Chains A and B, each alone.
Chain A
């Protein structure tokens, strides 16, 4: 009842990656903002068709890398020169060439954490509940299905008009997803 009145969105299925890309471009041109496409693999060119901004993940990784570099150098300077300087076979306390490998490893380690956890953070994953899984067809998106979902939060969204629009641009099947 109430889920009928307030659906999550309309899910439309398309035949193949090319149809999905054309449809995504039409949805984008029609002015919809809250929509997404679902496919078993990334389709190249889809980001442009959907009018998406480039991913900001690189900046997250850069910040992590810089923290790793500064932290790696600080750790070695602190322990070798400040906390307890030990004279080791005539080497200087601040032996920077010897600090390169460890600092490098820490840069890579922290940057990888940045890339890995940053990806999940930007994707808002893990997610405990997603209304999309109320659909019986969305399981095909991890197999051979190609979908567009226009969400109800979009200002242009109305159940009937959006469904008609999606059928018009070539959807083979449409379905209202309850919330």
Chain B
């Protein structure tokens, strides 16, 4: 019966006239060719920026968190803003690799490796901030479920402790998922590279993978289970991050809309980050056949959807503040839009709500230059969203006598900038040494990968069934 239903054909996922061998060649040759000059330059700059971050963290440990702009009443400033921002960016990788896998979206294969790598590195950058913001860094082990010297255990009623478990689990599961996806491709690299040492290194990490179907069976099962586990995980991680705010009694934080609102924002910023990185990489490595305009268009559609969800959440916060009748809540939101931080609020609205509206139009969704610019604008906007949430609620809450205004110091700024050094150092190493597209998965979405393709050509003569 299914043959009688005409299907709307999707655009070809891989452009150009590729077969299995040409795809292997295209992707596996990138780590084998001579390191391009631009890579050395970019890697050098990233290392320098990473060094700045390390210096700033050393300075912070030496002096204490007074070197940041934190004081009463604003005890969470750029540190928590940066943490939430980086974790949010990480969410796109898991969304692409897990949720789009469960929804059988074949186009994800072109970008999932890339996005998963981005996730792992972004969560690493995120993890730095809660770790270093504790003040007395030598007691950082108190976040682990261990009794301290007075036999006291951490408080499991606290969302801050939930956050430790959620982010640690997220980093671990993302890394496992990423590595498992890499195993068949590392085997491809092992069978292609020339040098003895590189063959040994790729071979070691490929674990003796042969492509045996008895292995593929367990592998596919494991992949599906991990996708099924990562899906509720990715939704829970940013929900738990939002609990850091929502479970407290600060006006502007104590709202039930936070978990879905944070998750939508996370996907929004993560897709923007994937687009920024992808648009550069596909050009530099000539991967336009794999990461096509159709991919950019589909991702822009998701950006439009999540952007509007975020915009809806902003409006709903205002509505509920009014509808709740709580004076403090009402004040906080009017103060956000028209108070001392109104500049940050309107940057946020412009970048997150206004700018994605371009993507209603197909021509703009398929415009690479505009997409690149907007992807950066969106990430700036999402940083400001976290800044507005974190800082405005603390700066002016209940008693006017204890109001304040937060200004960052150079250490705040350079630590944040420095995390880009860590991110890009890791990301450039990934681009240089690992296959940046999932080779085995992209072959699997070619029409030639389906036995039915040959049976249709041979008029079903060879079919045994």
Name the contact of B451 in the complex, choosing from A21, A127, A133 (C-beta under 8 A).
A21
Let me know if B165 is at the binding interface, CB within 8 A: yes
**Cα A76 to Cα B230 with chains together (Å):** 23
Q: Give how many A-B residue pairs fall within 8 Å (CB-CB).
A: 210
Q: Which of B204-246 contact A (CB under 8 A)?
A: 207-222, 225-226, 229-230, 232-233, 236, 240, 243
The answer to whether B162 and A105 touch across the interface, beta carbons within 8 angstroms, is yes
The answer to whether B219 and A19 touch across the interface, beta carbons within 8 angstroms, is no
Nearest residue, chain A, Cβ from B225: A115
Query: Cβ of A84: which chain B residues have Cβ within 8 Å of it?
Result: 147, 151-153
The answer to whether A101 and B240 touch across the interface, beta carbons within 8 angstroms, is yes
The answer to whether A108 and B191 touch across the interface, beta carbons within 8 angstroms, is no
Q: A57-B221, A115-B225, A143-B21 are in contact. Are A105 and B153 (CB under 8 A)?
A: no
The answer to whether A142 and B464 touch across the interface, beta carbons within 8 angstroms, is no
Complex interface bits, B127-152 against A, C-beta within 8 A gives 1, otherwise 0:
00000000000000000010100011
**Cα A174 to Cα B78 with chains together (Å):** 65
Q: Which of A24-69 contact B (CB under 8 A)?
A: 24-26, 36-47, 50, 52, 55, 57-58, 61
Let me know if B370 is at the binding interface, CB within 8 A: no
The answer to whether B187 and A142 touch across the interface, beta carbons within 8 angstroms, is yes
Q: Which 3 A-B pairs have the closest CB atoms?
A: A144-B20, A18-B454, A79-B153
- B interface vs A, CB < 8 Å? 19-21, 24, 145, 147, 151-157, 159, 161-162, 165-166, 168-169, 172-173, 176-177, 180, 184, 187-188, 190-192, 207-222, 225-226, 229-230, 232-233, 236, 240, 243, 439-441, 443-444, 448-455, 458, 462-464
The answer to whether A38 and B156 touch across the interface, beta carbons within 8 angstroms, is no
Distance to closest chain B CB from A57 (angstroms): 5
10 A-B residue pairs with Cβ-Cβ distance under 8 Å, sorted by A, are A17-B450, A18-B453, A38-B211, A42-B444, A43-B451, A86-B152, A101-B236, A109-B169, A115-B222, A142-B187
Give me 19 other A-B pairs in contact (C-beta within 8 A), A17-B451, A143-B24 excluded: A16-B454, A22-B462, A38-B213, A40-B211, A40-B443, A43-B451, A80-B157, A84-B153, A95-B156, A101-B166, A102-B162, A104-B236, A106-B169, A109-B172, A112-B226, A112-B229, A123-B214, A125-B207, A139-B192
Q: Which secondary structure dominates where chain B touches chain A?
A: helix
Let me know if A99 is at the binding interface, CB within 8 A: yes
**Cα A95 to Cα B155 with chains together (Å):** 11
**Cα A111 to Cα B462 with chains together (Å):** 42
